[in-house]
Structure 1
């Protein structure tokens, strides 16, 4: 990225009424937010439901440990390729097309899981689902960040993870309290098509990002979208697009590692990966972990943990908005590392004693995860945002897939104590990298952001 694109600038002079107008929350903002919420709900549900049905499928499909690991990681592998490949496409051709058509792909592949009675077919379908969701991880937060008022960007983007958690928790509760047979397992897998279809319908008619249009020299179209959908005056819309048009129209992946941008990119990769690796590993194999902890009433504890996950996500929205990105990230990493470290040291204690740090970890991790939707779009300018967000999501999914594949082997070979220990070390790495590199982006307005 060029230094001009990376450098934060002050906005052109504007009167207070213009600023108020740019900060107004409209019905259109709520619609874009709702459809992006729906995408994150679908993702959480898709990733949660496979963990819920794997114990049954392991028996009915005669799955080896290898196949269980592959099916658990399948959507995450697809997420990697979708994020990496289609994030760059979003910067090249625009956000809107991918924002619409990826959910047609997700809906079809989700429904087809009903007829997937071999591990290979199910694995391939979940790769496709993950590929479509990966596109949305690159495009959804990018488009929302480019439409959202700057003062509300943190809470709106952070809320995406809350909806992911709602989908994930719902999948876990269904898997816990519905008697799961082979037929019921396939119905649950296919039920992911319902929220995907709803998201697809609601996205019809959402326009292209005006910031992206302006970087392509289409300022008149961008200004018209601002007038029609955001309720801005002609003067305000044209002023905003003139600023956005100063950004370079295209940028390659190499610009993610150019002078002035490379540290932010590497921070994003390590921070995101360190957070989600233990998250996905632990919650995909929650039943096995609870069994290893010798908890007498695993269903009740599973419900308690899922409620802690949901409450943590909701309550965690406040500090994301109020504390700033840097301190929030550092403190949550540190608390999470301490919790898993405590589980490692207390591995020979009773199940209930181990549940205390586990519940605290779950609560804090849910809140900490909100930042993964806020930080990435703020680390990159318009010309790199789709590529950058896609790259961070893709690399984090590699970490997620590795953790999901390795944890069941780790639990079997070295036990719960050492397994919690190496995951605590991953979180400690995230703490140290955040201390060294985490930027504060809450109030930083780049050339293409100030007009929101």
Structure 2
């Protein structure tokens, strides 16, 4: 254990007016979800093309589901490994490393020549993205003012769907066999993802370390200088007079926190919060990964939509998902976390009922099915984004990145690996009833997340992170 210090840094960060400095944080860190959306949607949009003999990947409808599971499995492993390193070595070092891993692996995906290589490349790509979730969510929440944290976190996570829309629109061009050969377009798509990753890496180099992480890890003077600089910049830009901060917290500086202490904190001190985190992540992961990864083959096999047109459907689907956090995000700071999380989870589960009916009866064809998908996932996307917000808020700062990683990994392993594998096999069966069962199961799992929010939700809106969960290092 180190020295005991008093700091006002949390209060100083929380009372800052919105400024260009905050926009730089969002640009440098929030754009990672664009990459994830791009990756997942490219596979979904190009699934029908990847299974064609001339594509050169050697995949089938079922093995597209295996590739999706490999990506998610990699994300789970990456989240745990990099999450631990993020809490130990800092947010900034790790969000540079994880983005580098992503860039290398997605380039490798573009050169896939056999299913096993495609699976391996997808696993490593997922590892980079999983590590990003832990490093980025913790950094964003520690730098954004408390009064705005909910809506900003939801918008940041919701930008996943901007990447998804871009990936689908890109696929429209890259799947056009009049422009590119069957085996080339999908390779270019993955290579372009790496280019975008490199551009983000350049911007990210200028994002600072979290002052909250610095003052706990024996670097209090550096944290104070950083916040002093930010305050001067904000005053110069906005002309605002920053109010004095009275609240001081006493912290005993320390190095890394042992894994045993982290586990005890989560499951002995906060058991209800742990159940909440798991329920939210399992629900959204099962629904999203199961349906989204296989959406292309579902439209192709059951609605006979041509592979070159499927990306257009997915653009509409992605835009609906993007609008959810954008439209509903501010209510998580005003109406509150608990009612909004419950409403989005339970609402999306209920919306799956007419979706399944339209699918089973064939009423309205692909158009009605797509419209009902948009309604369902408008709600589900806000709920899914709130899962990351929740686990980032409700555990102590010293464990934040690993808490995000743990609940993401466990929840996603249970829901995000089983979902793609199950839906892939159900879709390949050609049986409408079996696929409908998959929709119903997804709705039940999502509804359980909503029930957990009602029972165990935490009132974290507009509250300092240190008030929501007392730091382990508090003297």
Q: Which residue of 2 aligns with 1:37?
A: 30
Q: Does residue 1:431 correspond to 2:431, yes or no?
A: no
Q: Does residue 1:57 correspond to 2:70, yes or no?
A: no
Tell me the alpha carbon deviations over residues 161-215 of structure 1, each in whole angstroms, 9 at most, x when there is no partner.
2211100121122224541521111011111112210111111143321111211
Equivalent in 318, 325, 330 of residue 337 of structure 2: 325
Equivalent in 134, 138, 145 of residue 142 of structure 1: 138
Mapped partners of 1:432, 1:210: distance in 2: 36
Mapped partners of 1:244, 1:79: distance in 2: 36
Q: Does residue 1:277 correspond to 2:286, yes or no?
A: yes
Q: Which residue of 2 aligns with 1:406?
A: 422
Tell me the alpha carbon deviations over residues 360-400 of structure 1, each in whole angstroms, 9 at most, x when there is no partner.
10222233333133222111111111111111221232121
Does the Cα contact within 8 Å between 1:50 and 1:189 map onto a contact in 2?
A: no
Does the Cα contact within 8 Å between 1:219 and 1:241 map onto a contact in 2?
A: no
Q: Does residue 1:338 correspond to 2:354, yes or no?
A: no
Mapped partners of 2:18, 2:156: distance in 1: 17
Q: Does residue 1:350 correspond to 2:351, yes or no?
A: no
Q: Which residue of 2 aligns with 1:266?
A: 275
Shift of 1:154: 1.4
Mapped partners of 2:34, 2:84: distance in 1: 24
Q: Which residue of 2 aligns with 1:105?
A: 101
1:36-435 map, 5 Å? 36-59=29-52, 60=55, 61-178=57-174, 179=176, 181-231=182-232, 243=249, 245-246=251-252, 250-252=257-259, 253-291=262-300, 294=303, 299=310, 301-346=313-358, 347-352=360-365, 354-398=369-413, 399-411=415-427, 412=429, 414-435=433-454
Mapped partners of 1:185, 1:309: distance in 2: 24
Shift of 1:75: 1.9
Mark the CA change 1:86 to 1:19 in structure 2 (over 3 Å): closer, same or farther: closer
Mark the CA change 1:291 to 1:21 in structure 2 (over 3 Å): closer, same or farther: closer
Does the Cα contact within 8 Å between 1:265 and 1:388 map onto a contact in 2?
A: no
Deviates more, 1:38-47 or 1:281-290: 281-290
Deviates more, 1:64-73 or 1:113-122: 64-73
Does the Cα contact within 8 Å between 1:165 and 1:310 map onto a contact in 2?
A: yes
Does the Cα contact within 8 Å between 2:325 and 2:385 map onto a contact in 1?
A: yes
Mark the CA change 1:121 to 1:400 in structure 2 (over 3 Å): closer, same or farther: same
Mark the CA change 1:31 to 1:296 in structure 2 (over 3 Å): closer, same or farther: closer
Question: TM-score, normalization: structure 1?
Answer: 0.87
Does the Cα contact within 8 Å between 2:67 and 2:119 map onto a contact in 1?
A: yes
Corresponding residue SS for 1:245: strand
Does the Cα contact within 8 Å between 1:37 and 1:163 map onto a contact in 2?
A: yes
Does the Cα contact within 8 Å between 1:293 and 1:354 map onto a contact in 2?
A: no
Structure 2: any 5+ residue segments left out of the alignment? 1-5, 235-241, 471-475
Mapped partners of 1:432, 1:23: distance in 2: 35
Q: Which residue of 2 aligns with 1:8?
A: none
Deviates more, 1:361-370 or 1:251-260: 251-260
How many positions carry a matched residue from both structures? 436
Tell me the alpha carbon deviations over residues 379-426 of structure 1, each in whole angstroms, 9 at most, x when there is no partner.
111111111111122123212122111112123254332221111111
Shift of 1:21: 7.8
Question: TM-score, normalization: structure 2?
Answer: 0.83
Deviates more, 1:93-102 or 1:362-371: 362-371
Q: Which residue of 1 aligns with 2:18?
A: 25
Tell me the alpha carbon deviations over residues 302-326 of structure 1, each in whole angstroms, 9 at most, x when there is no partner.
4433332233342132323322111
Structure 1: any 5+ residue segments left out of the alignment? 1-10
Q: Which residue of 2 aligns with 1:3?
A: none
Shift of 1:239: 7.5
Does the Cα contact within 8 Å between 1:275 and 1:427 map onto a contact in 2?
A: yes
CA RMSD of aligned residues (A): 3.1
Q: Which residue of 2 aligns with 1:6?
A: none
Shift of 1:295: 7.1
Corresponding residue SS for 1:182: coil
Mapped partners of 1:267, 1:410: distance in 2: 29
